[in-house]
Structure 1
C-alpha cells in the first residue's frame, strides 16, 4: 500500500503545507510517507512514543515535540473512540516566530500529522485529518 496518496490528499488543501504518516504500533515508530521538503519527516520514534503513550497526565503541562520543535497541546482526544485526534500549536521562538497549528490523528496502525499554513487555525486543519483518520479506522488500518 502506498501512503503517498494520503499525503497528497492532505497537502492539496490550501490550509496544509506539510504532512507525515508514521507507524505508531510498538516497534514500528517510523516515517511511512512524508510531504517532499517538509520538516515533519524528521519526527522521531521517541516523539511518536510520547504522543501515543497511555499516560496522558503530562501532555497539557509539558506539551509534545515534533521534529524537535516544542508544541502546546490544545485538545487531546487521540484515544477517544470516534474522535482520535489531537490539536497542538507550535511554541514560538526567535528562530520560529510563527505558531503553526497541527492536528494529529491516530488510526489503528498510524499517526497522521498535518501542519497548517501560517495563520491557519486548528479548525481548518482538524477536519482533514479527522476525516482521513475515520476512513482508515473503518478499514482497520
Structure 2
C-alpha cells in the first residue's frame, strides 16, 4: 500500500506544509511516507515511542520532540476514542524563531503528523489530521 496519496491529501491544505506517516507498532516506528523536502521525515523511533507512551503524565511538563525540535504539548487526546489527536507547538530558538503548530494523529497502525505553515494555529492544522485519523481508524488501518 502506498501512503503517498495520504501525504498529498494532507499537504493540499493551505495550512499544512509538511507531513509524515510513521508506523506505530512496537519495533516498527519507521517513516512510511513523507512530504518531499520536509524535515518531518527525520522523526525518530524514540520520538514516536515518547509520543505514544502509555504514561502520559510528563507530556505537558516535558513536551515532545519532532525530528530533533522541542515542542510544547498544548492538547493531548491521542488516546481518547473519537479524537485521537494531539496538538503541539514548536519551541522557538535563535535558529528557528517561528513557533510552528503541529497536529499528531494516531490510527490503529500509524502516527500522522502535520506541520502548519507560518502563523497557522492548531485549529487550522488539526482538521485534516483529525479527518484522516478518523478515516484510517474506521478502515482498521
Say whether the fold is shared (TM-score over 0.5). Answer: yes
Structure 1 residue runs of 4 or more that deviate by more than 3 Å after TM superposition: none
Q: Deviations over 1:98-119 (max 9, x none)?
A: 0000000000000000000000
Which residue number corresponds to residue 87 of structure 2?
Answer: 87
Which residue number corresponds to residue 37 of structure 2?
Answer: 37
Q: Deviations over 1:17-57 (max 9, x none)?
A: 00000001101100000000000000000000000000000
1:79 deviates by: 0.2
For 2:13 and 2:139, the matched residues in 1 are separated by: 23
Q: Is 1:51 aligned to 2:47, yes or no?
A: no
Over aligned residue pairs, what C-alpha RMSD do you find? 0.3
Please give the secondary structure, in 2, of the residue aligned with 1:19. Answer: strand
For 1:100 and 1:31, the matched residues in 2 are separated by: 21
For 1:109 and 1:80, the matched residues in 2 are separated by: 16
1:92 deviates by: 0.2
Which residue number corresponds to residue 133 of structure 2?
Answer: 133
For 2:49 and 2:121, the matched residues in 1 are separated by: 26
Q: Deviations over 1:53-87 (max 9, x none)?
A: 00000000000000000000000000000000000
Pairs aligned (count):
141
TM-score by structure 1 length? 1.00
Structure 2 unaligned residues grouped into runs of 5+: none
For 1:77 and 1:117, the matched residues in 2 are separated by: 22
1:95 deviates by: 0.4
1:120 deviates by: 0.3
